[in-house]
Structures are given as C-alpha cells and as structure tokens.
Structure 1
Amino acid sequence: MRINDVLKAKPSHDIFTISPDATVRELIALLSEHNVGALVVSGDGTSVDGIVSERDVVRRLHDDAQVLDRPVGSIMTAEVRTCEGSQALTELMQVMTEHRIRHVPVVTDGNLVGIISIGDLVKHRIDELEFERDQLDNYVHRT
C-alpha cells in the first residue's frame, strides 16, 4: 500500500494551512473549527514552511501564558519530515514511530498535496484487516 491510497480514502481532501504570521490564538480556532490536531504552516498555501500541533501549543502555554498572542512561526517545528504519495505506508509508519510524530505533510514536486495523521494510518490498517477477515470468513463458510 502507498500513501496515495490513504489520501484517496480520506473522507475529506481539504488541506488546512496557517500563515507563520497568524497568532497562536488563530491557530487554536482553526484546529477547533476543522477538528484536526495539526496544521501545516505555509506562507503561500502550497509550500511547507513548518508544522504546528496541539501539543506544540500546550507545551508553550505551560511556560508562557502570553504565547496565544505570539505568531505561529515562533512555536512551529521548522524542520518538517515530509513524505511523497508514492512511498510505502510501512516506511511512513516507521518514520512516525521513530521520530514520535503524529502528522506528516505529503508533498509532490515540493508542493503540499495532503497530510497524513497517525489516525489515518490506523484507520486504513483496520479497514485492511477487516477486509482480510471478511475474505477468510467467506472462504471458510463457502466450503
């Protein structure tokens, strides 16, 4: 299986980004509005300048209550691990596990084309296992 297979199966193909100049308060509103755990930080909506998650907000808020009025660029992760749609899922799962990351932007020719979360991968894997189980069940009960 490839990353593109998971992207195609997602119920929504919307990609939500935020400008590095937006405030952390605006970030929280977007995370809540779209019910997502992270946003890609992009100045133009197609490049990946960074990524910022709920976890980033919580960690900074603990140390600095004023972080809500600071720019997203001040709390984002600038060195972003990305993947390509043609990559194998197992490869991405290994990267996410090794680096303890939950969201990975998908890029093609340097342009943002999607984002994969650990939840997307788990759902996809469960769907695969259920399909295999159903196939085996049908085979056993036909003979």
Structure 2
Amino acid sequence: MSSVRNTMTTQVATISPNQTIQEAASLMKQHNVGAIPVVEQGVLKGMLTDRDIALRTTAQGRDGQTPVSEVMSTDLVSGNPNMSLEDASQLMAQHQIRRLPIVDQNNLVGIVALGDLAVNQMSNASAGEALTNISHQNIH
C-alpha cells in the first residue's frame, strides 16, 4: 500500500497569518491553486481557501487588506507522511475536504489533493467516495 509521503506535493505555496487577503489571492492565482496553508515559522496555523475569501471577505464587505488570520479556517484536519493513501482518502471523505495538509512534528511538509489520490490506482475508489461526499454536502 502506497503512503502519503510518495504522493504528496512538497513544494507548497504558503502564506503567513499577518499577510493580506489580497496577497493570498495573488499567490493563489500565481500558483493556480484554490487553497493555501497558513504557516508561521514552519507550523501550520490554518488553511485559506478561495471559498473563505468569497464568503468571509467579499460577501461581508471586507477589503483586500484584511489580514489572512481573520479569514482563514483554523479547525484543521491534517495527515502525516506515513499514513496510507487509503487512510488519507477516508479522512478527506469524512471531513469533506479536497486538500489535506501533511504535517510532521508540527511542521507542514506537504499537501495531498483529491486529484493526487485519483491518479493512484489503489485509491481511486476512495478518492471517488471523497469527491462524492464533498459534492453532495448540504449548502447552508
């Protein structure tokens, strides 16, 4: 069974909590990603998604100078490099997330996305299940 370590992306764009939403959006555009881990001195503090920006910034009339720390999600779910892809898929499905930050000794070491799991033949069913669960979540 393949581990997360062999599948995760290790060159991850990150942002610090005191940077602005405008800087985060620019970084997302530059790296063509929909989420950026928020890191302080190597330690994962939160995740910022394009959805966070839309709902917690734009929809509330905040401007681009709002600090990332005021918008980021802090209720984090993370994995570790030694977990199996099957376990990562199940964790993502259970928590209805598309991206799983990978942490080793409190430091961010990578990220696994649903697309990464779908590429791996052994976890296609789990990736499909995770995507189905996320796609059918209730919208509030």
Q: TM-score, normalised by structure 1?
A: 0.78
Alignment of 1:115-134 (within 5 A): 115-125=111-121
Q: Do the aligned residues in 2 keep the contact of 1:84 with 1:106 (CA within 8 Å)?
A: yes
2:4 is aligned to: 3
Equivalent-residue separation in structure 2 for 1:31 and 1:109 (angstroms): 26
Q: How many residues align?
A: 124
Q: 11, 34, 39: which is aligned to 1:37? A: 34
Gaps of 5+ in 2: 126-140
Equivalent-residue separation in structure 1 for 2:29 and 2:96 (angstroms): 23
RMSD after superposition: 2.1
1:49 and 2:50 correspond: no
Q: Give the letter for the 2:60 counterpart.
A: D
Q: Give the letter for the 2:80 counterpart.
A: E
- Can you list the C-alpha shifts for 1:12-48, whole angstroms capped at 9, x where unaligned? x31211010111111000000011111110122x110
Q: 94, 103, 106: which is aligned to 2:102? A: 106
For residue 2 of structure 1, report the CA deviation from its aligned partner. 1.0
Equivalent-residue separation in structure 2 for 1:126 and 1:41 (angstroms): 30
Q: Do the aligned residues in 2 keep the contact of 1:60 with 1:67 (CA within 8 Å)?
A: no
Regions of 4+ moved over 3 Å? 125-129
Equivalent-residue separation in structure 1 for 2:108 and 2:52 (angstroms): 21
Q: 15, 19, 24: which is aligned to 1:22? A: 19
Q: Do the aligned residues in 2 keep the contact of 1:21 with 1:71 (CA within 8 Å)?
A: yes
Gaps of 5+ in 1: 130-143
For residue 122 of structure 1, report the CA deviation from its aligned partner. 1.5
1:88 is aligned to: 84
Secondary structure in 1 matching 2:40: coil
For residue 68 of structure 1, report the CA deviation from its aligned partner. 2.0
Q: Which has the higher helix share?
A: 1
What percent of counterpart residues are identical? 29
Equivalent-residue separation in structure 1 for 2:79 and 2:15 (angstroms): 19
